[in-house]
Amino acid sequence: MGLQYAVHAYAWTSSWSNATLNLIDHAKALGFDIIEIPLMEVDKFDPVAIRKRLEQTGMGVCTSTACSDGSDVSSPDAAIRKAGVDYLKRCVDVTAAAGGTCLSGVLYSAIGARIAGMPGEDYRERAADGLRQVARHARDLDVTIGLEPVNRYETFLVNTCEQALDLARLIGEPNVAVHLDSYHMNIEEEEFYMPTLVASPHLCHYHLSESHRGTPGTGTVDWEAIYRALAESGYSGVVGMESFIEVADSMRAATCVWRPVAESSDQLLADGLAFLKETEARIYDELDA
């Protein structure tokens, strides 16, 4: 069984709702197996309508989100931590209701938050306590919680694969996994092979994003190393593409995409998916030879 390729809905829209259900069909037509739907606006997420469209198209679904200043499970403020746990539990509920089995992203702190000085162990312990509650809730619904390390400009708490694995161990629940992203790894990791290999037994998702957020194969990400590590570990789960070419101007500050990195999202996705699948086939075949 080969890898399952997902595409993030942010490739086309900054705001998911029932008006964008057609993107499920569009993703299928482009050759993807799974659509990744953001839950930043969870009130607009209609799991019944989504599940129906998924069943009609034969597509799978996963979800992702990021905590905000008001839902930060690592916050010193107990009320904010409770709001974060409540929010993430709701994300779990709608994920399961739509037929999804994985919720991942920046679930451990507020995206873009800054603190004075180095983060102490208290931040990790607070995050672990909150996510432990979320994970136990998710376990009853057969949902995996994925911790995505992101770069230093987007979080102070989990920047590397090692830090994500450490936090997962601290949480201590069997349905807590790791979600890698090659765009962030290109900034924070020394190389791609070993973090991928070490994370593979604990992976639930892998964003295959180029170093400049453009088409995979046109930047500095070491795709050979990533696929070699995935192949050697026997990983056959979900990998995905994430791009922000067509996001609304209201999201520019969040995505920091200030120039066109491809002619269109569809062109980036089509060319990138072809490149990634060719790389997968070649390296997995070499391993089997």
Six token digits for residue 103: 């919720």
What separation in angstroms does the CA of 76 have from each of 68, 109, 115, 158, 198?
14, 11, 12, 17, 32
Helix (H) / strand (E) element for 173: namely: none
Contacts of 125 by beta carbon, 8 Å cutoff, 6+ apart: 170
280 catalytic? Reply is no
**Alpha carbons 53 and 59: distance in angstroms, whole number:** 8
Concerning whether 210 is annotated as a catalytic residue, the answer is: no
Q: What beta strand segments (E) does 68-186 contain? A: 102-110, 144-147, 176-181
3-state secondary structure 90-102: HHHHHHHHCCCCE
Quick one: 127 exposed, middle or buried, by C-beta within 10 A (0-12, 13-18, 19+)? Answer: buried
Task: Identify the active-site residue in 36, 148, 189, 210.
Answer: 148
Rounded to whole angstroms, the Cα distance separating 164 from 188 reads 13
Q: How far is CA 163 from the centre of its chain?
A: 16
CB contact at 8 A, 12 and 265: yes
Pair 144, 101: CB distance under 8 Å: yes
What pairing do the DSSP bridges indicate for beta strands 144-147 and 238-241? unpaired
User: What is the per-residue burial (b if ≥16 Cβ within 10 Å, else e) of 128-148?
Assistant: bebbbbbbebbbebebbbbbb
Which residue among the candidates 36, 189, 210, 242 is catalytic per the annotation? 242
Q: Backbone phi, then psi, for 108, in 5-degree steps? A: -105, -15
- Could you list the active site residues? 148, 242
